[in-house]
A = this chain, B = another copy of it.
């Protein structure tokens, strides 16, 4: 249920309503637009005295939300949300690019990659310290040592750091080192993790599950939002279908669908959604042409010796070409690439 306030409603009127909602055992979430405030009411809505709210001072109208997700829906929050990450804004007019290796392997590899993607125009650094691997016998990531290297790379390059937590227990340590916490595709419905990230109030990058519908992705986001953490960026990373020519099938439709259904920023990961570096550039361009707010891309200085996902990693020079191509597409759709970091002093 959504209580739309009048444009001239006072703060006191808003507060009175919020209090009344809470008295009824439900939760109130404010969405403050330039013209008016909307109060989202979540919880067991059936027992709420809807008629009473209609008559309260400052209320324009009360409308049901038809979707199973509330806080994530554009009905509740009609204007685009922006999520800030160390001066970068996801969901605004500018297109943002996160890049880096699949896994943090060692200090040399990480720093080399970080400098290279920075110079090519990336705005943030990705890199896995905790790696969800299908096999227990393959490289599982460097753990906290990897986080320390990421923090060092940030200090050296000024790039914000995005990295994954795989369990609630890893949330505090990841938030200590990183700027944005990633929830991977396999954990999209790991509810304990969603709760922990929601409570952390930390910026979150939520990747769509391999076989999750768009509605399920938004329900997963709702878990985070329902803890008051509004800093959620959604990421399409390919779905599992019968087609085996690529690792996954990029659901490009999901970009305009999500931009219609939700106010949250949406980015795309063409590295995982194709699984082959040869196709990454084409799909990165397509994503921005379809309306994506950003990209997350795997880059490795020597993909042929990468400990994970080498086949889908771009070399730095290819990545630099990709950034230029994507910038041209951004212009063609009336947006622009977020500005690159200024050159480092020698």
Contacts and interface: CB of A to CB of B under 8 A. Distances in A.
Interface in A184-219: 186-187, 189-193, 209-211, 213-216, 219
Nearest to A211: B211
Contacts of A7: none
Interface in A86-141: 132-137
B290 A226 contact: no
Contacts of A226: 136-137
B253 A132 contact: no
Contacts of A287: 286
B279 A283 contact: no
Contacts of A312: none
A85 interface: no
Given A136-B223, A329-B289, A253 B246 contact: yes
A256 B242 contact: no
A282 interface: yes
A274 B209 CA distance: 20
A256 to B, nearest CB: 4
Contacts of A285: 289-290, 332-333
A252 B254 contact: no
A229 interface: no
Contacts of A213: 242-245
A147 interface: no
A186 to B, nearest CB: 4
A20 to B, nearest CB: 19
Copies of this chain, how many? 4
A240 B252 contact: no
A25 interface: no
A30 interface: no
A68 interface: yes
A246 B257 contact: yes
B286 A252 contact: yes
Residue among A132, A192, A219, A325 having the largest count of chain B Cβ atoms under 10 Å: A192
A197 to B, nearest CB: 13
Nearest to A43: B137
Nearest to A248: B253
Interface stretch (A150-158, A161-169, A174-182, A314-322): A161-169
Given A167-B192, A215-B245, A329-B332, A279 B256 contact: yes
A253 B244 contact: no
A70 to B, nearest CB: 8
B252 A243 contact: no
A4 interface: no
Given A133-B191, A136-B223, A257-B279, 16 more contacts: A136-B222, A167-B168, A168-B168, A170-B192, A213-B243, A240-B242, A245-B253, A252-B283, A260-B279, A286-B287, A286-B289, A288-B289, A289-B289, A289-B290, A325-B333, A329-B329
Report, nearest first, the 5 A-B pairs whose CB atoms are least far apart: A211-B211, A167-B192, A289-B289, A256-B282, A286-B286
8 contacts: A134-B189, A214-B243, A243-B254, A245-B254, A246-B257, A249-B253, A255-B286, A285-B332
